[in-house]
Amino acid sequence: MKIYTQTGDQGKTSLISGERVPKSHPRVQACGEVDELNAVVGALAAHLPPGSEATMTELRRIQSDLLQAGAWLSATPGSETQSRLTPMGPDTARRIEARIDALSAGLPELKAFILPGGHVSAAWAHMARTVCRRAERTVIELTLQGGAPDGQPTAPSHLGPVVMFLNRLSDYFFMLARYLNQQAGIADVTWQG
């Protein structure tokens, strides 16, 4: 199977639900942001220090969740394809919240802003956090400006679970960065502004 199809040479692509839209369509933009986040999570996983098997497993689960979010973003609301997707409910966000709580339990209380960096894995976690926030903003914008192929607004509740997941996920990456620095014996660098 060839990777190239030449069907996008005229600036259009297909949604998972089959509709052809411009590659600049808000729904395609949102999918691209989530895909970029997934790639950054892969880079983060590749830079984990030895002995980080539990975190690796966690990141692989998050990557799977991101693919699920991408499917929801790429399916037109009300389409047959959307009706076949596995729902993204509040349980996904609650699972991330539980991980945030577990990570923060072993960290010193944060009393100042911190600068991104430290161990290379922590730096990648901060990159994931910022890309995640951008993806969240793009998905929110999709719900506000009309994300259906015909330009009609999508109901915010349609993508609400995706927004909730991305919101929790960015907080998770922040706590993971702090955790990874602690595991590496590197103190968070506080902002001296």
Q: pLDDT tens, position by position, for the chain (193 residues)?
A: 666 666 556 688 777 777 787 787 888 899 999 999 999 999 999 999 999 999 999 999 999 999 999 999 888 777 788 878 888 888 999 999 999 999 999 999 988 999 999 999 999 999 999 999 999 999 998 888 755 555 555 555 678 899 999 999 999 999 999 999 999 999 998 888 7
pLDDT value at residue 7: 57
Q: Which residues contact 154 (CB under 8 A, 6 or more apart)?
A: 77, 142, 143, 146, 147, 148
pLDDT value at residue 121: 97
pLDDT value at residue 136: 96
Query: In the chain, which ranges are continuous DSSP H helix?
Result: 26-46, 53-74, 80-84, 90-105, 120-145, 156-183
Q: What is the CATH number of domain 15-190?
A: 1.20.1200.10
Alpha-carbon torsion 95, 97, 101, 103, what sign? positive
Q: Where are the domains of the chain?
A: 15-190
pLDDT value at residue 1: 63
CA distances from 65 to 42, 58, 72, 98, 136 (A): 13, 11, 11, 16, 14
